[in-house]
Structure 1
Amino acid sequence: MKQQKPNAVKQWLYRILGVVFTALGVVGIVVPVWPTTIFLILASAVFLKSSPGMYRWLHDNPVLGPYLRAYRDKTGITIGYKVWTISVLWVGIVISAVFAVESLAVRIMLFTIALAVTIHVATIKTAASPQTKAIPREAGPVSSSEAASPAPREP
Structure 2
Amino acid sequence: MTEDLQQQRNPLLRGVLIAVGWLSVVLGVIGIFLPVLPTTPFLLLAAACFMRSSRRFYLWLVNHRQLGPWIVDYLQGQGIPLKGKVYAIGLMWLSIGVSSYLVPLFWARAFMLTSAVLVSLYILKQKTLPPPMQR
Give yes or no for contact 1:82–1:121 (8 Å, CA) kept in 2. Answer: yes
Match of 1:3 in 2: none
CA RMSD, aligned part only? 1.8
Match of 1:57 in 2: 60
Match of 1:123 in 2: 125
Change (3 A) 1:56 1:118: same
- Give the distance between the partners of 1:7 and 1:117, measured in 2 at CA: 36
Match of 1:43 in 2: 46
- Give the distance between the partners of 1:90 and 1:65, measured in 2 at CA: 25
TM-score (norm 1): 0.73
Please tell me the residue identity of whatever aligns with 1:115. V
Match of 2:92 in 1: 89
Identity %: 34
TM-score (norm 2): 0.83
Give yes or no for contact 1:33–1:117 (8 Å, CA) kept in 2. Answer: no
List, as ranges, runs of 4+ consecutive aligned residues in structure 1 with deviation greater than 4 Å: none
Match of 1:139 in 2: none
Gaps of 5+ in 1: 1-5, 136-155
Pair member with larger Rg: 1
Matched, 1:71 2:86: no
In the alignment of these two chains, the number of paired residues is: 127
Give the secondary-structure state (helix, strand or coil) at the position aligned to 2:37: coil
- Give the distance between the partners of 2:115 and 2:45, measured in 1 at CA: 23
